Amino acid sequence: LSGRTLDLRDPKGFPPPADELPFARALRGESVFQEEWSYTPRNRSGSIVLLISAAPFHDKEGTIIGVVLSLRDITAARRMELRQKRLHNRVEKERTLLQAILGQMPVGVIITETTGRLVMANNQAESIVGCTFKGPHLVNEFHGLGVHPDGRPVDQQECPLARSLRHGEVVTNQELILHRDNGTQAAISCSSAPVLDSRGRIMAAVLMFMDITERKQAERELLDIRSELEERVRIRTLELEGANMAKDEFLANMSHEIRTPMSGILGMTEIILQRDLSQELHADLSIIRDSTRSMLTLLNDLLDLSRIGKGSLDLRTTDFELSEVIDSLVRPFELLAMDKGLTFGVFLDQELPVRVHGDPDRLGQVLKNLLQNAFKFTEDGGVRLRISKQSETRNGTVLLFSVSDTGIGITRRNQAKLFTPFTQLDHSRSKRYGGSGLGLAICRQLVRLMGGEIRVESRKGAGATFRFTVLFKKVRERQEELKVENPLCLADLPPLSILLAEDNLVNRLFLRRALTSAGHRVTEAENGKEALEQLQLESFDCVLMDVQMPVMDGIRATKKIRTMRQRRFSPRIPIIALTAYAMKGDREKFLDAGMNGYVPKPVDFSELARTIQYVMK
Ligand code: ADP
């Protein structure tokens, strides 16, 4: 067993001097205990690791006569150790890498095993929580720190880490308030997820959380600002609604106040105009009448606009003959065209329906406005009105109306402003041509109400064409057979005894004149109270009752007439409301109060006659 026979090498692979071999040393009397040597057996490739012990063996005299040698092959164990060491090194390397990555993450990260033991936590986690994790059970440690945003303590079952570890839940953005050891607080948003092994079993859980204190604070401030803004908007809206209602109320009142004296002026002027007057006086009075009429038109425009704004403008639809409305509409313009030396052409397409169902007055209002503008802004050339059928549907017929002129035209920029109320395109024009700038705004709203649209096409200096469509419903057969009634006048009625309750002296005078000259007997009252007194004294065929009167208004008086106990007149006596009020719902209000009919001021005698005839039936 010399060194050469057994080629032993030290663990580093070097052959030792022969006298260093365990055997040789034992022969010299040394005990060798479990030394590691490397050996390459002849019949194998690669070396093995031997654990060698050697002890001298003595005779009785103590002379060394042999050696006891023990050899153990520990190659497998050594390889295993080596592999484990490498594995350990690799794990350590990966752990360091993971730690470095986690260290760079902007959120706190904590990884725990199923036992709750901490595997890893990054610096952010500790700085957000404000402590170093050291307890044996991190889940307990962590959940004890937080409360819900409403202050409720977090139950251990609710802790995101516990939910992921125990039930494999994935938790996203659970908000908690963290109470740190140093007494400060932080709002955090936590997400957690389980980590599964290759067989799908939970082996760990990862918790990620970030400090959202500043974000929450900003959100709170934003919410505060928002609710403050909402409150301001609410208050402002209320104020505006109040102001708007007040405006409408004011407009209605003003229209009443203005219409009452105006209807007096107009009525009286018309009565005087019927007299035998000198030519000069007739001409002067005609100017008064025409100016009053234009004031009334303006007033009506304002009222229309207010009603459109409130959505309370209703169409009064009926069946009518298109050509009749167009004929009476264009006649004054034919005269105007002659006056101004302009041509005026009216073209109606062949296939137009003869009768249609719609609002003839509103259609006339739109056309009149467009024709007036066309004539107003044209000095040379002429104006053309064309009506054609655009389409026919199950609901009715869509007609296209177009009014073109060869006048001053409108720039593209100004066209955009045309249909906005109170817009006149430039001061020099409005000074020269007059007008309120309301017409086209009203036209557009009316056209929309009639189921159509209005557009303009124009170039500066090259005339303008306004086109609009209107949807007319089909004419109902039954109505088509109805004959058009001839206008009725007050004198067509049988002689009646009429009680007239009206506080305005001029109106009273003018109505009395009109009625008495038509053969009726009129008794006057200045207010509702006086009317009641008159009714107790005399008998009447009907009452004309102004709505707004001092002492007792028309509505209260009517209610009294209908319900009074001790009376000497029929409680069903016909009562007709006279009013300048023309807001939506007024008609219903008067009828609810017990009135039988309604005539707006300025009173149109034919309408008054029709209404009297109707209520006396
Ligand atoms: P106004 O009562 O002032 O005429 P409108 O709303 O009818 O109000 O018209 C507004 C403005 O549009 C007019 O003042 C005028 O400047 C312009 N305009 C309307 N129609 C025409 C037209 N046919 N040609 C040129 N300009 C027009």
% of residues, the chain, pLDDT over 90: 35
Q: Is 421 in the pocket of ligand 1 (CB under 6 A)?
A: no
List the alpha helices (DSSP H) in 74-185. 75-104, 123-129, 138-143, 160-167
**CA–CA distance, 55 with 60 (Å, rounded to integer):** 16
- The pLDDT of residue 483 is 43
Q: Given 3-state DSSP classes, what are the helix, strand and coil percentages for the chain, each rounded to the nearest 5?
A: 45, 25, 30
Which mutation among 299, 340, 373, 380 tests ligand 1's pocket best, with the greatest number of atoms within 8 A of CB? 373
Asked if 24 and 52 touch (Cβ cutoff 8 Å), the reply is no
Ligand 1, atom 20, lies closest to the CA of 373
Ligand 1 mean position, distance from CA 425 (Å): 7
**CA–CA distance, 336 with 584 (Å, rounded to integer):** 35
Asked if 144 and 138 touch (Cβ cutoff 8 Å), the reply is no
**CA–CA distance, 449 with 456 (Å, rounded to integer):** 18
Asked if 344 and 382 touch (Cβ cutoff 8 Å), the reply is yes
- The pLDDT of residue 468 is 96
Which mutation among 440, 445, 460, 468 tests ligand 1's pocket best, with the greatest number of atoms within 8 A of CB? 440
Q: Is 404 in the pocket of ligand 1 (CB under 6 A)?
A: no
**Residue 204 tokens, joined:** 């760990």
Q: What are the pLDDT digits (tens) for 450-471?
A: 999 999 999 988 999 999 999 9
**Amino acid at position 292, single letter:** T
Query: Is the model's pLDDT at 91 over the cut of 80?
Result: yes
Q: Which atom of ligand 1 is nearest to the CA of 423?
A: 10
Q: Is 425 in the pocket of ligand 1 (CB under 6 A)?
A: yes
Q: Is 407 in the pocket of ligand 1 (CB under 6 A)?
A: yes
Query: Is the model's pLDDT at 429 over the cut of 70?
Result: no
Q: What are the pLDDT digits (tens) for 19-30?
A: 888 888 998 999
Task: Report residue 532: phi and psi, to 5°.
Answer: -60, -45
Selection from 69, 73, 27 nearest residue 51 by Cα: 73
513 contacts: CB under 8 Å, gap ≥ 6: 271
- In the 3-class helix/strand/coil scheme, how is 368-425 assigned residue by residue? HHHHHHHHHCCCCCEEEEEEEEEEECCCEEEEEEEEEECCCCCCHHHHCCCCCCCCCC
Q: How far is CA 494 from CA 398, 536, 577, 613, in A?
A: 44, 24, 21, 9
- The pLDDT of residue 136 is 60
105 contacts: CB under 8 Å, gap ≥ 6: 122, 124
- The pLDDT of residue 585 is 62
Asked if 69 and 52 touch (Cβ cutoff 8 Å), the reply is yes
- The pLDDT of residue 481 is 40
Tokens 């949807």 correspond to: 471
Tokens 């005609």 correspond to: 286
Q: Is 408 in the pocket of ligand 1 (CB under 6 A)?
A: yes
Q: What are the pLDDT digits (tens) for 301-327?
A: 777 777 776 677 778 888 888 888 888
Q: Is 305 in the pocket of ligand 1 (CB under 6 A)?
A: no
Ligand 1, atom 25, lies closest to the CA of 409
Ligand 1, atom 4, lies closest to the CA of 435
Q: Is 377 in the pocket of ligand 1 (CB under 6 A)?
A: yes
Task: Report residue 10: phi and psi, to 5°.
Answer: -70, 170
Rounded (5°) CA angle 393-355-347: 90
Query: What value does the mean pLDDT of the chain take?
Result: 85
Query: Is the model's pLDDT at 69 over the cut of 60?
Result: yes
- The pLDDT of residue 215 is 92
**CA–CA distance, 127 with 122 (Å, rounded to integer):** 9
Phi-psi bin for 599: left (phi > 0), alpha (psi -120 to 50), beta?
beta
Task: Report residue 257: phi and psi, to 5°.
Answer: -60, -35
- In this structure, the chain runs to a length of 617
Is the overall model pTM greater than 0.85, yes or no? no
Asked if 72 and 50 touch (Cβ cutoff 8 Å), the reply is yes
Query: Is the model's pLDDT at 617 over the cut of 70?
Result: yes
Ligand 1, atom 9, lies closest to the CA of 437
Which of 123-127, 366-370, 484-488, 613-617 holds the top average pLDDT? 366-370
Average pLDDT over residues 201-216: 92
Average pLDDT over residues 377-398: 91
Ligand 1 mean position, distance from CA 301 (Å): 15
**Residue 133 tokens, joined:** 């994790």
Q: Is 544 in the pocket of ligand 1 (CB under 6 A)?
A: no
**Residue 14 tokens, joined:** 């070097």
DSSP string, 259-306: HHHHHHHHHHHHHHHTS---HHHHHHHHHHHHHHHHHHHHHHHHHHHH
Q: Is 414 in the pocket of ligand 1 (CB under 6 A)?
A: no
Average pLDDT over residues 90-97: 91
Q: Which atom of ligand 1 is nearest to the CA of 433?
A: 14
Task: Report residue 527: phi and psi, to 5°.
Answer: -160, 180
Q: Is 600 in the pocket of ligand 1 (CB under 6 A)?
A: no
Q: Is 418 in the pocket of ligand 1 (CB under 6 A)?
A: yes
Average pLDDT over residues 474-490: 57
Q: How far is CA 518 from CA 280, 513, 599, 609, in A?
A: 28, 8, 18, 10
Ligand 1 mean position, distance from CA 546 (Å): 38
> What is the band of 183 on the pLDDT scale with cuts at 50, 70, 90?
confident
Query: Is the model's pLDDT at 80 over the cut of 70?
Result: yes
Ligand 1 mean position, distance from CA 424 (Å): 7
**CA–CA distance, 19 with 435 (Å, rounded to integer):** 133
Q: Is 439 in the pocket of ligand 1 (CB under 6 A)?
A: yes
Q: What are the pLDDT digits (tens) for 274-290?
A: 888 899 999 899 888 88
Nearest-10 Cα torsion for 342, 345, 346, 349: -160
**CA–CA distance, 74 with 49 (Å, rounded to integer):** 6
Q: Is 135 in the pocket of ligand 1 (CB under 6 A)?
A: no
Q: Is 436 in the pocket of ligand 1 (CB under 6 A)?
A: yes
- Residue 569 has, within 13 A of its CA and on its CB side, a CA count of 25
> What is the band of 152 on the pLDDT scale with cuts at 50, 70, 90?
confident
Q: What are the pLDDT digits (tens) for 211-262?
A: 999 999 999 999 999 999 999 999 998 888 888 777 777 776 777 778 778 8
Higher pLDDT, 571 or 113: 113
Ligand 1 mean position, distance from CA 523 (Å): 48
Ligand 1 mean position, distance from CA 527 (Å): 44
**CA–CA distance, 161 with 205 (Å, rounded to integer):** 7
Looking at the DSSP bridge assignments, the partners of residue 500 are 524, 544
Ranges 229-233, 353-357, 405-409: which has the least confidence:
353-357
Asked if 108 and 119 touch (Cβ cutoff 8 Å), the reply is no
> What is the band of 132 on the pLDDT scale with cuts at 50, 70, 90?
confident
Ligand 1 mean position, distance from CA 244 (Å): 27
Ligand 1 mean position, distance from CA 584 (Å): 29
Q: Is 373 in the pocket of ligand 1 (CB under 6 A)?
A: yes
- In the 3-class helix/strand/coil scheme, how is 210-243 assigned residue by residue? EECHHHHHHHHHHHHHHHHHHHHHHHHHHHHHHH
Q: Please, what is the angle between helix 360-376 and helix 439-449, to 10°?
A: 150
Helix (H, G, I), strand (E, B) or coil at 51: strand
Ligand 1, atom 10, lies closest to the CA of 437
